[in-house]
């Protein structure tokens, strides 16, 4: 039986209530005094006595009324706290000043692999060797925020924050430790930073060779073996790597791409494998996970693998064989479950022959070879890709362009595309910027290599000896004249030659080309 008695607080009020209960031989289980109310919990009160007890207690001086209640205040607060702790995804550990755990929610038990979670009353060091920064917070009173800590019992890292609990005298009487599973943190980062997933159905093609390659790649996606993607620059190696990830059992995991040629060798090792706090000058406080850890459960794409130094090749080979990584400055190895996809446009066999690439790593990476054909070997895809890029850029720039003339398509088909699909994409983007009407004409398509072979410089005849300045001026005049003939607009000429409109007008006046 639980009762709530709104009242005026006075000396002896609790004694008067206790006397009434003692006379009736009713045991008091708990009594709590809140502001302007007394809460009473009694057990074993006979049913026939309850109403009479309520009436008698209501006659006590300064007791306004007596009513039944479901919870004692402390019990209600405990239920509310338990509901909050159960609902949050973060793990919560509360430790008192003696280092004993007085609260552990289900999420903390899950993160720390404590099956029953019943560790309240036990010393934290009995379960966690490094105390999750709790000891430091108890000693210093300083809190830690989002620090990565290696937890021995799970063999992995957790993200930890600690908050000191202080009494009215500002003395530390306990610590609240907030734990986040490193996998949850990585999932959040992935959701916030990841680009849209790419499926094999998103790869635009009509050629038989590409259709067969995509069909073959769909089977490769189901495997966990390493893939080595070969192909010239601009053929879409990363696009295929993303599609392989999306079509695999790891599609819900993280896809982490890195260009081995874009990062200096001195930084590459720490980027791949991570580092501990103090591992080197400039190391981030708390350390940093490497890309292998960040892609755990997902896919790591190493582009331009041929640019990796021999030193890092040795470490990469060890990770692929052992499935464990060791951060710089650490003595611990962390298990990782990562599928590695690599890509290169270099001749790795030749590099192996001259000792620039390790032979054992080459065989380890080349388990599943995938070679992407250049665009010139699949000419039937050129017009299809051009129309796809035209629609995309026209929508993006809000330009009323809806197609190509027959001559424009022929101009695209005649080109050998040394830059492959990436070059085609860039040329179509430029054409959309240049075109005024609804269709792209040949003069809107600026092909680099063709322009070079048919350069107006080749028509210049130097009949007499000239200085370098004179020759450059004559070449510049010829380029301007030829470009003006094709585009018939100083603004278009400026866009094509990457000059401002004012600069073009000045050069036209300089060479008397205003009326051309």
pLDDT in tens, 88-97: 778 888 888 8
Q: How far apart (Å, rounded) are the C-alpha atoms in residues 473 and 511?
A: 9
Instruction: Tell whether 13 is covered by a domain.
Output: yes
CATH code at 46? Answer: 3.30.70.260
Mean pLDDT, all residues of the chain: 84
Per the CB < 8 A criterion, the answer to whether 479 and 457 are in contact is yes
Q: Which has more pLDDT, 282 or 334? A: 334
Domain count for the chain, please give it: 5
Distance CA(487)–CA(393), nearest Å, equals: 21
Q: Are residues 47 and 120 in the same domain?
A: no
Same domain? 139 vs 231: no
Edge-first strand listing for the sheet containing 101-104: 101-104, 91-96, 172-181, 156-166, 144-151
Looking at the structure, do residues 365 and 273 belong to the same domain, yes or no? Answer: yes
Among the ranges 323-337, 360-374, 464-478, which has the highest mean pLDDT value?
360-374
Verify that 173 and 201 share a domain, yes or no.
Answer: no
Grade residue 453 by pLDDT with cuts at 50, 70 and 90.
Answer: very low
Whole-angstrom distance, CA of residue 291 vs CA of residue 361: 19
- Taking the alpha carbons at both ends of the chain, their separation in whole angstroms is 104
pLDDT of residue 428: 94
Is 516 within the bounds of a domain? no
- The share of the chain scoring above pLDDT 70, in percent, equals 89
Residue 153 has pLDDT above 90, yes or no: no
Residues 484, 359, single domain; the answer is no
Among the candidates 325, 343, 371, a domain finishes at: 371
CATH of residue 429's domain is 1.10.8.60
Q: 437 falls in which pLDDT band (50, 70, 90)?
A: confident
**Residue 516 pLDDT greater than 80, yes or no:** no
* pLDDT for residue 237: 95
Structure tokens, 385: 């890709």
- Domain co-membership, 212 together with 294: yes
How far apart are the C-alpha atoms of 412 and 502, rounded to whole Å? 31
Residues 11-53 pLDDT 10s:
898 898 899 888 888 888 888 888 789 999 888 788 888 888 8
Task: Quickly state the pLDDT bin for 276 (edges 50, 70, 90).
Answer: confident
Residues 347, 202 share a domain: yes
Using DSSP bridges, classify how beta strands 299-303 and 67-68 pair: parallel, antiparallel or unpaired: unpaired
Q: Look at residue 454 and tell me whether its pLDDT is greater than 50.
A: no
With a pLDDT cut of 90, the percent of the chain lying above it is 33
pLDDT of residue 451: 41
Asked if 72 contacts 2 with a C-beta cutoff of 8 angstroms, the reply is yes
Q: What is the pLDDT of residue 452?
A: 40
Strand partners, 42: 28
351/470 same-domain check: no
Residues 220 and 346 in one domain: yes
Q: Is residue 94 part of a domain?
A: yes
The model's confidence at residue 231, banded by pLDDT at 50, 70 and 90, is very high
Full domain range(s) for residue 383: 376-436
């Amino acid at each position: 039986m639980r009762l709530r008695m709104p009242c005026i607080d006075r000396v002896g009020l609790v004694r008067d209530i206790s006397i009434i209960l003692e006379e009736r031989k009713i045991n008091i289980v708990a009594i709590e005094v809140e502001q302007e109310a007394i809460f009473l919990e009694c057990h074993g009160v006979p049913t026939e006595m309850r109403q009479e007890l309520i009436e008698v207690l209501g006659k006590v001086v300064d007791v306004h009324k007596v009513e039944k209640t479901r919870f004692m205040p402390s019990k209600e607060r405990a239920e509310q706290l338990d509901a909050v702790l159960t609902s949050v995804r973060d793990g919560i550990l509360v430790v008192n000043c003696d280092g004993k755990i007085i609260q552990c929610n289900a999420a903390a038990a899950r993160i720390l692999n404590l099956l029953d979670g019943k560790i309240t009353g036990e010393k934290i060091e009995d379960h966690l060797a490094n105390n999750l920064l709790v000891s430091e917070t108890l000693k210093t009173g300083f809190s830690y925020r989002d620090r990565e800590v290696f937890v021995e019992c799970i063999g992995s890292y957790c993200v930890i924050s600690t908050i000191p609990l202080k009494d009215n005298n500002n003395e530390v009487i306990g610590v609240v430790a907030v734990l986040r599973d490193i996998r949850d943190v990585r999932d959040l980062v992935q959701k916030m930073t990841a680009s849209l997933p790419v499926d094999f159905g998103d790869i635009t093609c009509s050629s038989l060779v590409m259709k067969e390659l995509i069909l073959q790649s769909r089977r490769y996606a189901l495997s966990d073996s390493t893939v080595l993607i070969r192909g010239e620059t601009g053929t879409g190696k990363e696009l295929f790597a993303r599609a392989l990830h999306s079509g695999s059992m790891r599609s819900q995991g993280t896809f982490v791409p890195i260009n081995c040629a874009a990062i200096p060798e001195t930084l590459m090792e720490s980027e791949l494998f991570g580092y501990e706090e103090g591992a080197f000058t400039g190391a981030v406080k708390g350390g940093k996970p490497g890309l292998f850890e960040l892609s755990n459960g997902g896919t790591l794409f190493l582009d331009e693998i041929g640019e990796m130094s021999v030193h890092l090749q040795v470490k990469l080979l060890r990770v692929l064989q052992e499935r464990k990584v060791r951060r710089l400055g650490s003595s611990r190895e962390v298990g990782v479950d990562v599928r590695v996809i690599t890509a290169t446009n270099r001749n790795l066999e030749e590099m192996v022959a001259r000792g620039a690439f390790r032979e054992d790593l080459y065989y380890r990476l080349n388990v599943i070879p995938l070679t992407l054909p250049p665009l010139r070997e699949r000419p039937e895809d050129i017009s299809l890709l051009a129309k796809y890029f035209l629609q995309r850029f026209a929508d993006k720039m809000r330009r009323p362009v809806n197609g190509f003339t027959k001559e424009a398509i022929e101009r695209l088909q005649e080109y050998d595309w040394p830059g492959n699909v990436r070059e085609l994409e860039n040329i179509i983007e430029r054409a959309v910027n240049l075109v005024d009407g609804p269709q792209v004409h040949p003069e809107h398509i600026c092909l680099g290599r063709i322009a070079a072979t048919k350069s107006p410089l080749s028509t210049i005849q130097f009949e007499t000896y000239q200085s370098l300045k004179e020759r450059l001026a004559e070449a510049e005049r010829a380029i301007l004249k030829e470009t003006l003939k094709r585009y018939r607009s100083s603004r278009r000429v400026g866009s094509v030659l990457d000059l401002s409109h004012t600069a073009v007008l000045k050069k036209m006046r300089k060479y008397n080309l205003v009326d051309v």
